[in-house]
Amino acid sequence: MAEINAKKARIIFHLDMNSFYASVEIAYNPELKGKPLAVAGNPEERKGIIITSNYEARAKGVKTTMPIWQARKLCPDLLVMRPNFERYRFASREIFKILYSITPFVEPVSIDEGYMDVSDVSNDQHPVRLAEKIQQQIKKELDLPCSIGIAPNKFLAKMASDMQKPMGITILRKRDIPEKLWPLPVREMYGIGSKTAEKLQGLSINTIGELALADEYQLKQLLGINGERLKNRANGIDLRVVDPDAVNEFKSIGSSETLPLDTTDEAEIRSLLSSLAENVEIRMKRKQVAGGSVQLTIRYHNRKTITRSKKLSNYIEKKVDILKVAFELFEVHWNKEPVRLLGITVQDIEEKQNIVQQLDLFTYKKDAEKEKLYLAIDELTEKYGKNPFVEMKVEDQGQPRTSFQKDFLDDYKK
């Protein structure tokens, strides 16, 4: 990435699509405009939760992660649609193509948001005019609304884009921080989750302004190095550059799913783990990567969640190997209570071309034999569809999968 003149003030945009999934559905079917709409999983099962909703639905109290039954109580005329991820992926690709046509300094961070460094582009036109041009082009070509934050760094741009929705454009300069940023509750600050907010409130830090003025030593004692980082952000300090290659820096690939009903049925649990392992394998194959450890997530009926992982002696990429480790972890760490959610994540990811596997005298034959089996399974799967040797649970296309958004964020460059 070309270096930007350090002496020159940076101008960073954060573009955030408004109610993205719902907006895409409305763009495809204009008859939905003005009606309360939500995109969710299977409405007949408990895992049917709201993924996103449009502003008409939000005005009635409908929120993300809310169960569909609860959303319908608040908004009886709510229209609920299953997600169409291929449709959203296409829309995302077209959005980032528009951004990339303006500057190469584009950093996607999810399917519906990204940063742009327009420091050089803004030589030719005022940043607000440029933001309006981007906003209007996306609206005209794709019929999708977005908000744009304009600031001297990524953190302030991100905070600014949240200040006016939908179709807002907000400038947040460092001199604006005491008036616009500091009065906000600390829980509304980007990078602070509910647990961190609770810890900060324990120190009587309730606003971003109080965090900005807090004792750095106390923050480090409470939150480690992240305490110093959050204090800097609250003061508008963020030296991160917009990195177009950041999307390629990932260290894990995972998949999780909520069961229709809490269960202790081992057959159902194993079926879901098998489905999750297959999903992880597909995505690893697409990325041409392998991983050095496997993590299992178990969430129980009372929402207690545990994660357990195992470091491996060799890199793995195949479903059969991922599933074997996941089964082992489950057998050791399941406490026999009803399970609500399961997740499998392969960690310590590396590109296959960079991996040199050290085969010792005792394992090379086994590895070679397994590779032949894998090739045979791949050939049969290619010919007949699903792996013919393992009875698989049919995936619910309406259920979002962990890290879905990260798999294709560089598509716009292709």
> Distance (Å, rounded) from C-alpha 176 to C-alpha 235?
11
Q: Which residues pair with 138 in a beta bridge?
A: none
Residue type, 165: K
Residue 181: which of 215, 167, 173, 193 has the closest Cα? 173
143 is an annotated ligand-binding site residue: no
User: What does the block give as tokens for 189?
Assistant: 């600050």
- Which one is catalytic: 25, 56, 107, 113? 113
User: What does the block give as tokens for 130?
Assistant: 């440029």
Helices (H), 143-265: 154-161, 194-201, 208-212, 216-223, 225-234
Element (H, E) at 402: none
Element (H, E) at 89: helix 85-102
% helix, strand, coil for the chain, step of 5: 45, 20, 35
Residue 264: which of 334, 214, 200 has the closest Cα? 334
Element (H, E) at 76: none
Angle separating helix axes 194-201 and 216-223, nearest 10 degrees: 130
Q: Which residue has the tokens 């994540």?
A: 345
- Phi/psi for 51 (5° steps) reads -85, -45
112 is an annotated ligand-binding site residue: yes
Rg (CA), the chain: 24
First to last CA, the chain: 18
In the sheet with 79-81, reading across from the earlier edge strand, the strands are 50-53, 37-40, 79-81
Residue type, 52: T
Q: Which residues of 180-211 are buried (b: 16+ CB within 10 A; e: fewer)?
A: bbbebebbebeebeeebbeebeeeebebbbbb
User: What does the block give as tokens for 119?
Assistant: 């420091």
User: What does the block give as tokens for 207?
Assistant: 């606003």
Q: What's CA 379's distance to the chain center, in Å? A: 32
188 is catalytic: no
- Phi/psi for 250 (5° steps) reads -130, 150
* Binding-site residue positions for Mg(2+): 16, 112
Q: What residues are labeled active site?
A: 113
* Binding-site residue positions: 16, 112
